[in-house]
Structure 1
Amino acid sequence: MIPARLVLAVQDSRYVEPLLNYVHGSSYGSALQVTAFTRTDSFLRYMETGEVPNLVVGDTEMLECWHARGEVNVPWLHLSEGNTAISLMEDGKSTPKYQPLPQLLDVILSHCKRSGGTAEKLNAGNTPILGIVSPLGGSGKSTIAMNMAKQLGVLGLRVFYLNLETVNSSVLFPSGSVGMEGSFSRLLYDMKAAQEPISGSELSVTSYIIRHHGLKCDSFEPNFNVKEMAEMNREDTALLLNSLVSSNHYDVIVVDTEEYMGERMQAVLEQAGLLIWVLLDDLISVHKSGVWIDQLEQRYPALYESVRKRSTFIVNRFTGQLVNNFPRKDINIDGVLPYIPSWKQLHQEELLLSSPIYQREVLKLCQQLLEGSGIMAIQAGGGR
């Protein structure tokens, strides 16, 4: 994925250097290509002769000098201090100069996307659906799904995280939104109502979408009613997925599924453009994975052939060497994610989203999907 081009124009080198060091040492380095200036003359010369950036981020003095040169055709973001403001704010936006670096970089990425940067141009057709599936309970599927949603957002994509588990694991990670309690129950009602023959109405999900600040993407407020989720069938799931796709708000929809072949899982298998199968390298897990996929082939042979072409297999909790042979010849391991010993007796749920080692490997997986088999290149499955 090509990173967004950012010009940083700040006179204080004590501000610029720590920011650049953080970008280069974090996952933001893959999403942003930063050219920094602390001298006004060098900045102005670059803006006249250099490559046009997606966004200029600067302090008051630098931006005012730039604006004074004439027409400004590049989107910009003002780093404000206290009550200071520049004279031409109608063409740009402002954000505090001093704030936590991850928060500042998220603001910068969001402005890169709104200004017509790389991320907005990636989605040329239907929004791809990325299904995270596993034949095993406790395989770490939800941890992978949430970390992938977060890292795809860091890469500059507009991401929606959809959890279809009967017992929603993302409940452990509060979204930070307020006033949306019970909203998924109302959404389920709207799904059923939209399918009534006399309804004539289309399902709209916009009013139910929240911003999940921990995952850095959009989502729905989790549902706590297990019975309601159990009643969500294949048709409901297909309708919900199609509504998210047709909204045209997202570059990718990451779907976290159940670990058995229920109706919601079937809808995801039918509609996902890419399926990430999460496996474990131990004797019992390998056996169960083989049996589960055998059953899928026997019960739904046509669906299985389609699924096989859209599947990528990864081994989670990899310790350095694969010791088991998987029982099917059509299972080729495409990637691994590491075993994190500190997660064995986890008592702080936020650690699942903040392990530097795990985040680095998930980011690599996301980049491989973008550049290889390609989230952006995949087409819908049989149902869309």
Structure 2
Amino acid sequence: MNKYQLAVAVKEQEYSKRLADYIRDSKFGEQWQVVAFTHADACKRYVKQGYKIDLLAAQPELLKEMKDELPSMPTAALVLKPGDSEEVHELHQYQPLPLLLQRLTEIHARAAAHPVQTAEASEKMPGVKVISVYSASGGTGKTALALHLAQAASTHRYRTFYLNLERWNTSEMWLKPQRYGDGSSGGEALGEGLSELLYGLKAQPEQSVTWLMEHRKRDALLQSDYLAACTNLEDRMTLSGEEAADLVDVIARSGQYDLIVIDLDSGLEELHTAIFEQSNQVLWMLNGDVSVSIKQRMALRYGEQKWGERFKRLSPKFVFVTNRAAQAERVSLSEMNGLAYAQVQLPEVPEWRGAGQAKLLSSPSFRAAADKLFKHLCLEGGSSFVER
């Protein structure tokens, strides 16, 4: 995926080299590419030749020389102590590199969010793909697949956001609480998440993207971002379709992600239909239980009865995925309205059956199957789907 260009202007060449080496070998290398300068004139020539810089981090004296010719470029001053520059954003040059890069990422996110927030359009950013994982029955492995798809996407250099919209958010079983905040963009308190973003969307919608960038969390294993679950469960219970669509819109408009993976619960309400409309593809989970297939068929019929043509227009997005293939009986999908069926099957993982026993990315076979499914969904145009 395309990377953002970080220009670093410092007089010490060794510092720039150390920073560039760290970025290349860390998770920040997925997002940033570094170009370094030791003189202000070299940086100005670089821009005049037509090269793009997404964020400029420079020592105050060099930044002062460049500022007049680069008025619209987001900048951060690399200082030895607070007050060494007149810049809004000052960062200590010799702080730990992970903290420095995290702060630079936040500054860029705010700068990128501002013009989007003031624009009249509220459509998804071009190129942002949304995949929803759904089932009309619980216990089919929706969350396991959604999280593994997010991880698979990250290995293919997709900047990914995992959004859990279940009533009863089970992702904590996988995203262990002790890892909350690892690599997060601020907001270390566990309570700052979906509830607060929903409130902000109502009270200060123009600040919603900035708030998201400051409070999103990052899982070190997934290499993906997410938000903490609703602290007030009533916020999820009363979540409307319009509010759910607004959440997706905020994440997409941030300009920070290539893929949003949405984990839905087993109901079928206006919220689900609104999310289906936002999605590029909706994965309907099946397993070896015949009752699950019956519930899926009932959900499809109900959707058509409730929303008519609006729901029927969504059917090209629907793809059935079979989980626990090792024990699954071949259930005929001929009654599934002729919808697409993924040939990629997800294997049974016995150790995930016990309460509290699930361990993220612990099954190589499941990871491989999720990676293959991701490739078909995002890299191969869904060529592995067949009509039934």
Q: For residue 189 of structure 2, what is the aligned residue in structure 1? A: 180
Find 1:203's aligned residue among 186, 189, 208: 208
Q: What is the rounded CA distance, in whole Å, between the counterparts of 1:166 and 1:372 in structure 2?
A: 33
Q: What is the rounded CA distance, in whole Å, between the counterparts of 2:310 and 2:152 in structure 1?
A: 30
Q: What is the rounded CA distance, in whole Å, between the counterparts of 2:141 and 2:188 in structure 1?
A: 30
> Per-residue displacement from partner, 1:247-273 (whole Å, max 9, x unpaired)?
110010111111111233122111111
Find 1:342's aligned residue among 334, 339, 351: 351
Give the alignment's TM-score, normalised by structure 2. 0.64
Find 1:309's aligned residue among 310, 316, 319: 316
Equivalent residue runs for 1:268-307 within 5 Å: 268-307=275-314
1:242 match: secondary structure: helix
Q: For residue 364 of structure 2, what is the aligned residue in structure 1? A: 356
> Per-residue displacement from partner, 1:116-144 (whole Å, max 9, x unpaired)?
9xxxxxx9924111111111111110111
Contact 2:134 2:285 in 1 (8 A): yes
* Shift in CA distance, 164/213, structure 1 to aligned 2, threshold 3 Å: same
Count of paired positions: 278
Q: What is the rounded CA distance, in whole Å, between the counterparts of 1:304 and 1:219 in structure 2?
A: 28
Contact 1:135 1:288 in 2 (8 A): yes
Shift of 1:88: 3.3
* Shift in CA distance, 263/124, structure 1 to aligned 2, threshold 3 Å: closer
Q: For residue 127 of structure 1, what is the aligned residue in structure 2? A: 128
AA at the equivalent of 1:303: R
> Per-residue displacement from partner, 1:90-141 (whole Å, max 9, x unpaired)?
1552668xxxxxxx99x4464154229xxxxxx9924111111111111110
Q: What is the rounded CA distance, in whole Å, between the counterparts of 2:143 and 2:13 in structure 1?
A: 48
Q: Taking every aligned residue pair, what percent have the same amino acid on both sides?
A: 23
Q: What is the rounded CA distance, in whole Å, between the counterparts of 2:337 and 2:199 in structure 1?
A: 43
1:287 match: secondary structure: helix
Gaps of 5+ in 2: 35-123, 182-186, 384-388
Comparing 153-162 with 211-220, which one deviates more in the overlay?
211-220
Q: For residue 89 of structure 1, what is the aligned residue in structure 2? A: 15
Contact 2:130 2:278 in 1 (8 A): yes
Q: For residue 373 of structure 2, what is the aligned residue in structure 1? A: 365
Q: Is the counterpart of residue 191 in structure 1 residue 109 in structure 2?
A: no
Gaps of 5+ in 1: 5-53, 55-74, 76-85, 97-103, 117-122, 196-200, 376-384
Q: What is the rounded CA distance, in whole Å, between the counterparts of 1:337 and 1:210 in structure 2?
A: 28
Equivalent residue runs for 1:141-160 within 5 Å: 141-160=142-161
2:251 match: secondary structure: helix
Shift of 1:323: 2.5
Q: For residue 33 of structure 2, what is the aligned residue in structure 1? A: 115
Contact 1:126 1:245 in 2 (8 A): no
Q: What is the rounded CA distance, in whole Å, between the counterparts of 1:182 and 1:320 in structure 2?
A: 40
RMSD of aligned alpha carbons: 3.3
Contact 1:164 1:264 in 2 (8 A): no
